[in-house]
Each structure stands twice: as C-alpha cells, then as structure tokens.
Amino acid sequence: MKLHHFFVLYVFFLLFANTIAFGETVIPIPGPPSVSAKSYVLEDFKTGQIIAESKADQKVAPASITKLMTAYIVFSELKRGNLHLEDQVLISEHAWKTGGSRTFIEVNTRIPVEILIKGMVIQSGNDASVALAEHIAGTEEVFAAIMNQQAQKLGMTGSHFMNSTGLPSDNHYVTARDISTLTRAIIQDFPEYYGWFSQESFTYNNITQYNRDTLLKRDPSVDGLKTGYTKAAGYCLVSSAKREDMRLISVVMGSKSPQSRANEALALLNYGFRFYETNNIYSALEPITNALVRRGAEKEIPLGVAHDLAVVLPRGQWKKLSSAIQVTSPIIAPIKKGEELGAITVKFKSDLILERPLIALTTIPEGSRWQKMSDWVSSFFSKETP
C-alpha cells in the first residue's frame, strides 16, 4: 500500500503576537539565560521537547542524581508487586558502612521499604540506597546491572551505572539529556510515589534531616526532584515545576556551589514558563479526518491519534505552525480499531518537529456481497481498482 496525500491542514493558533508586546514596545523572545554549569537541559514534560540545552550529551559524574535511577527501579518493583512498602529490609554491614550522606540506619536491624525510600529520596542516604539495592538484587553489583538494563530501555544511551548511590567510581557517568529522560519517566510512570520528592524533611532514629533542594522553599511551583554533589561531579540539581497546565524539567550538572545550582535551575524554569507555552493540537482518540473505505460495511472511517498531540513553542508563534495529514490508499476492509492507516506531521516554520501515526478509531468489518459489488462498480466507473 502507498501513502496518498489526502489533504494539508494548516493550523493557526494566534494566541499572541509573533513577539510579546507591552503597549507599543515589541520585545523579541530572548535566548536562554547564562548558565555556568558543565551541562544543562530544560525540557517540556508533556511533549518531551527540549527548550534549551548546553552540552546535553556530555558524559559527567552524576553524584546522588544516580538515586533517581535507583528510585525508578524501586518504584517499578513496587508497581509489579515484587516489593511492598511495609516489607522489612535486613540492613547489611556493607549498607551500614557506606559513607557520604546517611540516613543512620543500624546494621542487622529490619527497616520498612517505605522508610528507606524516604531516607534515600529526602535525605539522600547512601546507606538507605544500598540497603534497597541489596534487598532487590542481592548485591549492589547485580543491582547496577539492572540499572544499566533499565537505562537502555528508557533510551539513556549515554549513561552507565556502577552503584546505586553515585559515590565516585570509574565508568559511572550520565548525560544531562539522559537524566531529563529518566526524570520524565519517573513523573509519568509513578505519580503515586512522586510526592516524596517534594517532602522538605524526614526524621528517622530521632534525627531530622532536611531536603537539600532549596528550590522547594523558594518556589511553590517546584515539586522535586534531587540534588547531588561530589568533587568530580560538582553541584547538581534536577528540578521539576508546574505552573497552570505546563510542567517543565530542568537538569543542571556541575555547578560551582549549592547557590549557583539553585539559581541556575530556577532561571531556566522561569525562562521556560515566561517565553514558551504548551498546547494540544489534537486530542487523543478524537476524529481528525474521515477516510474512504473499500469493501466495508461502512463507507468511511474516522482517523485520529492514540495520544494527545501537543507541541511547545515560543509564545505568540503558533501562526507559524502547520500540520499535514497523509492517509493510506486504498483502505480495504476489514479494519481493526487502532490499526495504523496514515500519518500526521507537524512543522514549525519549515522544520519538522513531530510525526505520529493516524489510527482507526472504530472497527469496520468486511461488507456484504452486495456492498462489495457496489464498491467494485463505483471503482470501475471512476477508473480505480480497489
């Protein structure tokens, strides 16, 4: 079968002017803020589009940002039913002795999984991270192998893990782009556990420790996720914030101080919210167009997209957006709901920004003998052969 140009639909969203205007003063949309970190990414959560980046694919030491992958695997095990929040974890000497930031768990004690997760996520406890890794995989080495398998599944092609904590180790590295991908997956796949990343303090063993993410107090729209620091990594911060219907993710790797990582992350978030916006072009499973059907019980079938089709663009520039629809021709029954029958492409100016399949929104069975004969006659006189 071939793809036939069914029609081209130009979508005009004139929400604002092409630039942001205050009175008679027209202000062009600026470039991203100056960031001194080794690398960074600013990503729109809904679409996965990158708004701003610098050295996003450079391999860097992740420090405790590593614990985002540890958390992803723990959450996955919870969701599969292989792990439960109330499960008791026996603390090994290896976990107890792990240096760096700690939850202060005691060797040979049994601690619920939920406590260890909070210790890892809120306090950045290395001991809690190792205890969870050992409970799931037996050893931290085996857990690291699971981390790398999961990284490949998520498309984190520039990252490699050697431990569950982010303590310095040869061949342990990530990229800012990969961490943004991982962060998006955590928020998307595990909304039921995401709230722990915004908790400002946690008390265990009569010791209260505070979340090192200072943005949680500085900006109420920020609701996570993780800080990190080692001498090799510098000061790192992964943040997410939601304002109205737009959520952004910022990843700042290798800043010079705790203050600079927070300031740079907030500057990126403010930039994204101020100058960009996310809007749906088409909603999931809603008809976009109808296509002719041959030999079917129905003459036409509605086509749409499986998921919301959204894009993020500079504010006021929706007028430069266009979409083109291509439909497979001929479409011959029977047709199953969800079957791919074409494609939709979206361009900003002349640049292709996304392409998605068009799917059948209903099932159409093969038509009766009379319906098929009628189609044949119609095709014959229109000089088409179905």
Residue 329: active-site member: no
| Dihedral sign, Cα of residue 258, residue 259, residue 262, residue 268 | negative
Residue 67: active-site member: yes
* Spatial distance between the Cα atoms of 128 and 101, rounded to a whole number of angstroms: 10
**Token pair of 145 as six digits:** 């192998």
**Range 156-195 burial, b when 16+ CB lie within 10 A, else e:** bebbbbbbbbbbeeeebbbbbbbbbbbbbbbbeebeebbe
Amino acid at 262: A
SS3 of residue 237 by DSSP: strand
Q: Does 372 belong to an annotated binding site?
A: no
Count of other CB atoms within 10 angstroms of residue 200: 11
**Residue entry with tokens 């998520």:** 154
Residue 164: active-site member: no
**CA-wise closest residue to 349 among 326, 317, 316, 324:** 317
Task: Kindly list the distances between the CA atom of residue 307 and the CA atoms of 14, 188, 286, in Å, as whole numbers in the listed order.
Answer: 24, 14, 10
Cβ–Cβ under 8 Å, residues 364 and 297: yes
Largest CA distance in the chain: 86
Per the residue annotation, which of 38, 46, 67, 118 is the catalytic one? 67
Per the residue annotation, which of 39, 54, 124, 129 is the catalytic one? 124
**CA-wise closest residue to 142 among 128, 163, 169:** 163
Give Cα 10 distance to the centre of its chain. 28
Alpha helix stretches (DSSP H) within 44-112: 67-80, 93-97
Per the residue annotation, which of 39, 64, 239, 329 is the catalytic one? 64
**Residue entry with tokens 């099932």:** 363
Residues in the annotated binding site for substrate: 226
Active site residues: 64, 67, 124
Residues in the annotated binding site: 226
